Structure 1
């Protein structure tokens, strides 16, 4: 039975395995949020691509086309994840969202350096100033969208959602069981040629943990 502590995210209900013999696709509970993210990625990708085609001669940026392609791929993966529960699509979306965030950061740094150099001169070209300012706005917006996509995918993969029916992207990001994000420490591996340490469990009686030691004493 699903609850806020154990929502339906990465695997269908147990009864679905028994009753669903046809292998029908299970909808991702974050479908509404993924659809909004897909629309945002697609809008930013197409907008950046059109803007780069028009202003590339002025901006001379080297990352706009690559970033626009990454944004469009993120939108396609978001729409795929919104249609059905697919762990592979979520992993790919997380990877391309991280790549989109890096390309957005590259565009931001490149445009910021050029903009600061132009604004430091007395004779500043207003056309180039406006182009690089627009690139900075696009890069920062897509960086935020990519960060949200990574957070949503990571929490979904770690079963950290607290809602089965998404009311808004805000509830998807905020509400949830954060204890599922904790990682348990890995046990120490036994080294070759060395014996592993013996763990002594606490006892509730007064007998010593090693009776043979007490006999020797």
Structure 2
């Protein structure tokens, strides 16, 4: 039962490295050179890659939840369901959807016009912040952002909730306390990572809605773009 779990975990680790590499090096260069500028193409590229890796992390966490669901609720069928071909297909499909979504958003940004001397109150180019400073009509962009976020963010989250609902129900039916402990321990690391990722994302959304301070919003964004990726290796290393 460890092979699929480590396959998804290796993809999650690689995705975390890529997501951090998309934003942190540029931020460190800006700090060192005391120059906070970024080119237009560089900004669009950063937006695209951030959306690819954030979306991919969302799907990988959902795939890992399904893996734990099959392991606990259908253990005798686990090796048949979670075979190598199916696991690879899940990752490939997740990557295809994430890349397609990011490219669509990036292309829709290219149609917008911007004034001169623009300043993004952030430590990296974020799609929502860039749209706010455009001179064009952004109604279509905003509708598309909310629609895709609800679709591509809501479906994996519902899948995770469904998986853990079934897992909890199955574990509680185990008669022995040791069996229940082992069942919950199997999901402990993944559940911690899920709560960390979605908790910080929700925190960023709430912070951006209730405050007008760019500094507080930037700090909140740092929580979901850096902190989960930094904590994931510690969570799984301590678990192992």
TM-score when normalising by structure 2: 0.34
Q: Which has the larger radius of gyration?
A: 1
Which has a greater percent of helix? 2
